Chain A
Amino acid sequence: MGRKLLLDKAHIEGIRYYKTYRENGGYAAAEKVFKTMKPDEVTEEVKKSGLRGRGGAGFPTGLKWSFLAKPEGVPRYLVCNADESEPGTFKDRYLMEFLPHLLIEGLLISSYALGANTTYIYIRGEYAWIPDILEEAIRDAKAAGWLGKNIQGSGFDLEIYVQRGAGAYICGEETALLESLEGKRGTPRIKPPFPAVKGLYQCPTVVNNVETLATVVPIINIGGEEYAKYGTGKSTGTKLISACGNINKPGVYEIEMNISVEEFIYSEEYCGGIPNGKRLKACIPGGSSVPIVPANLLLTTAKGEKRMMTYESLSDGGFQTGTMMGSGGFIVLDEDQCVVRHTLTLARFYHHESCGQCSPCREGTGWMEKVLKNIENGKGKMSDIDLLWDIQRRIEGNTICPLGDAAAWPVAAAIRHFRDEFEWHVNNPSEALTRNFGLAHYADPLPVPAPAAV
């Protein structure tokens, strides 16, 4: 069994409620912080832990916190990004639904470290029932003296508010989230200035993912250095992975970042292999916007090493042969799945969710969807594949926010690794409507390059 830090008590009945949570060692970290630590020491502890942002980009959290501008007389805000809209990612939902107090405690400690007296949880509109759970938790925590004025006699005040979004993927982008939170149209701001300098209501703001903030609790409990001993290298600690697709046991798993991808998919402890004896074809290991990789590149890197579930190993080889950890939405595709259709689904999603602010993404995402629809429906041309490549190349990096990149990467990766499947669709239009390309050579062992002669 892998070691767990976040979900170690998730199985306890009634852990959602304050009483049970407190009896099982909850708010011990907050107690420790208020009794023995200064705000800077908390930040230092998070820095030592090597915790990286769990929202997708993997930016070191301690570093992000230290960037926060601290001018006198200006309020600072902490915003918890619970707008988890990435297809394939549902880990934050699990945390908020079953362990709301873990998040509240994490918010409390983080707000104390940052000196924020007001904290917002921005939750996506589709999670209609979770705000009630969170608000109940906030109420209970307040009744027990963990929120409000002069918490536990420390002189620190904190209010937590839950704000529901209106169902836009783009509001998961931090500046769009802030705009939406301010009551405006949720479109990304142009950076700089960064939120750490001018964020919510033009005040310094830190925006962190739910899992990141919840992870602060075990870090304080066991200490940053101890936390850094979990995992491998710079990928410290544990990570929640929401596994879905063609696997026997979909769900949210907490993994220590020292297991291999193969173990994660096939071991009984985690996904439990692929159902019906099918073979693995491809996988998106980090939520829909990270590049899709074929089975052979998923299990081993281009260098012939075993691929591990860590930030570094997953992105080994760059976008040529690697992918990304992303937000941990692990989508597995078996041999019966059609990559073209899958790419079309994603392109449709990004087209629908583009905010329409900047031209490459507004126009390009729709174009990609239409071209892909043609290929999928047997009306494609060979030149369409190159056209798609050209469109994605011109979207990527030329947009205001990373949604443009997120829309371009899946298409780019699909063409890069599965070009023959696209070509098969174009060459056999009628056959492509009735059957799939199948596994083909996507699971064949990679030729390992011979070591260079010295």
Chain B
Amino acid sequence: MSEEKKLFKVKIDNITVEVEPGTTILNAARQIGGEVVPPAMCYYSKLQGSGGKCRTCLVKVSKGSDADPRPMPKLVASCRTTVMDGMEVANITSPEVLDARKGVVEFLLLNHPLDCPICDQAGECDLQNLSYEHGADATRYEFKRRTFDKIDIGDKIQLHMTRCILCYRCVFTADQLTNKREHGILGRGDVSEISTYIHKNLDNDFIGNVIDVCPVGALTDKTFRFKNRVWFLKPVDAHCKCDKCSGKVALWMRGNEVFRVTARKDKYGEVEEFICDTCRFDRKDVKDWVIEGPRNIDRHSVISQGHYVGVQQPKETFKAVMDGRDPKLLMDIHAVSEVNRPDVDLSKIEGPAHSNDFDKKQ
């Protein structure tokens, strides 16, 4: 038997979890799942070096480790802080964290335009979710928001910098998928912008993935822009034989028409496998795909409204409570009341019902 690895015990919001050394607090929380998972706008587990920038995943470390029980002096970014043995972390149990997170959401929304009604990302936007859960009702910002011109970075991708929250995910994606470095940040501070090297087009077989990793509607698919709202579309899992990528995608369909193709995203909004641009932009015919079945979307999402998938019927508990016996009627209401008349079929009455219809003599 191989040598047993020592696991680190971490307590997040008083829930203990054992994780491998080197795991970040965020990933440890994801192993627990549920509400203790801090939100992440910039961290992306598939991208090296991402995270630490948006500050929404701040948590309080109330005990450093067993060896050094001192708490950390500041709130730490859980996506980039690795766990120690015996660490105790407070996320939603700490008012300080919730307050800081509220502040961060406010900062993120300061210069973000309120154009959700015309934004293609609406309905699947991480920032919408974040502000819905953690944000304040109204902004206190009274000044003009910064704006940028829209630019095309490639013939199929449009960049609308005004909406960008500078998470750097697309920069890491472009950087890690290509050898050339053509996509990066220009400028400094709140006027820094994502752009390409002197308006160069990004041409790479996988560059379309920057659309998927974008947490807001800054990078959009030009083959899908303004075609449809995501919640009117039906997401289905599909695959095809592709020589460039795995070919496993999610199709967004209405009727028999494929509106867009994206990679499959897990519950944290991260793609499972990057797909190639041919699959994403060119294969928009149902015949190109082998459909596997409907895609499961979180039921809290607006996309799954009206789709009663996975809805659980409440369990009948009578029999369980009564040791398997059927419940016994205590009283037959019809035996004592003249009001309820199951023998009168309302659907057979023509026109509005009248007291004559319930005449006892009938």
Contact = CB atoms under 8 A, between A and B. Distances in A.
A233 interface: no
A397 B106 CA distance: 16
A398 B80 contact: no
Given A370-B143, A398-B58, A400-B52, A359 B108 contact: yes
Contacts of B168: 357
Interface stretch (A116-124, A283-291, A346-354): A346-354
B148 to A, nearest CB: 14
Contact of A356 (B77, B108, B185): B185
Interface string A83-112: 000000000000000000000000000000
A363 B77 contact: no
B54 A362 contact: no
B189 A351 contact: yes
A66 interface: no
A417 interface: no
Interface in A380-407: 387, 390, 393-395, 397-400
B75 A398 contact: yes
Nearest to A394: B103
Given A364-B107, A394-B107, A398-B55, A359 B165 contact: yes
Given A387-B140, A398-B103, A358 B190 contact: no
Contacts of B75: 397-398
A363 B52 contact: no
Contacts of A370: 143
B110 A358 contact: no
Contacts of B226: none
Given A352-B189, A355-B188, A359-B53, A398 B104 contact: yes
B189 A359 contact: no
Among A357, A358, A359, A393, max chain B CB count under 10 A is at A359
A367 B110 CA distance: 9
Sort chain A's interface into a size bin: 20 to 34
A148 interface: no
A183 B1 CA distance: 48
A185 interface: yes
B192 interface: yes
Given A363-B108, A370-B143, A387-B140, A358 B189 contact: no
A235 interface: no
Interface in B109-147: 110-111, 140-141, 143
A358 B41 CA distance: 11
A365 B190 CA distance: 9
Interface in A176-203: 185, 190
Among B53, B143, B190, max chain A CB count under 10 A is at B190
Given A190-B77, A358-B52, A358-B53, A365 B107 contact: no
A363 B103 contact: no
B55 A358 contact: yes
Contacts of B52: 190, 358, 400
Contacts of A356: 166, 185, 187-192
A178 B188 CA distance: 18
Given A359-B165, A367-B110, A394-B107, A354 B55 contact: no
B100 interface: yes
A358 B167 CA distance: 8
B55 A168 contact: no
Contacts of B110: 363, 367
Interface residues of B, number: 33
B202 to A, nearest CB: 19
A400 B100 CA distance: 14
B354 interface: no
B58 A367 contact: no
B185 A399 contact: no
A387 B108 CA distance: 17
B287 interface: no
Contacts of A394: 99-100, 103-104, 106-107
B300 interface: no
Among A185, A357, A364, A399, max chain B CB count under 10 A is at A357
A358 B54 contact: yes
Nearest to A355: B188
B189 A400 contact: no
Given A356-B166, A367-B110, A398-B58, A362 B103 contact: no
B189 A365 contact: yes
Contact of A359 (B51, B55, B143, B188): B55
Interface string B148-188: 00000000000000000110100000000000000011011
A366 interface: yes
B103 A360 contact: yes
A367 B141 contact: yes
Contacts of A358: 52-55
Contacts of A190: 51-52, 77, 80
A393 B189 CA distance: 19
Nearest to A383: B140
A387 B74 CA distance: 22
B147 to A, nearest CB: 14
B166 A359 contact: yes
Nearest to A381: B142
Given A190-B80, A398-B55, A398-B58, A360 B104 contact: yes
Among A362, A390, A399, max chain B CB count under 10 A is at A362
B74 A359 contact: no
B74 A397 contact: yes
A399 B189 contact: no
A156 to B, nearest CB: 36
A359 B192 contact: no
A393 B190 CA distance: 19
Interface in A28-79: none
Given A360-B55, A362-B166, A367-B141, A354 B189 contact: yes
Contacts of A363: 107-108, 110-111, 190
A356 B187 CA distance: 9
Contacts of B104: 359-360, 394, 398
B107 A360 contact: yes
Interface in B53-99: 53-55, 58, 74-75, 77, 80, 99
A370 B103 CA distance: 18
A362 B189 contact: yes
A400 B104 CA distance: 13
Contacts of B51: 190
Nearest to A360: B107
Interface string A117-144: 0000000000000000000000000000
24 contacts: A168-B188, A354-B188, A354-B190, A355-B192, A356-B185, A357-B166, A358-B54, A358-B55, A359-B104, A359-B107, A359-B165, A360-B103, A360-B107, A362-B192, A363-B107, A363-B108, A366-B189, A367-B107, A367-B110, A394-B104, A395-B103, A397-B74, A398-B75, A398-B104
- What are the nearest 8 A-B pairs in CB distance? A394-B103, A356-B192, A363-B107, A190-B52, A354-B189, A356-B189, A363-B110, A397-B74
Interface of B: 51-55, 58, 74-75, 77, 80, 99-100, 103-104, 106-108, 110-111, 140-141, 143, 165-166, 168, 184-185, 187-192
Given A351-B190, A363-B110, 5 more contacts: A185-B184, A362-B190, A363-B111, A394-B106, A400-B53
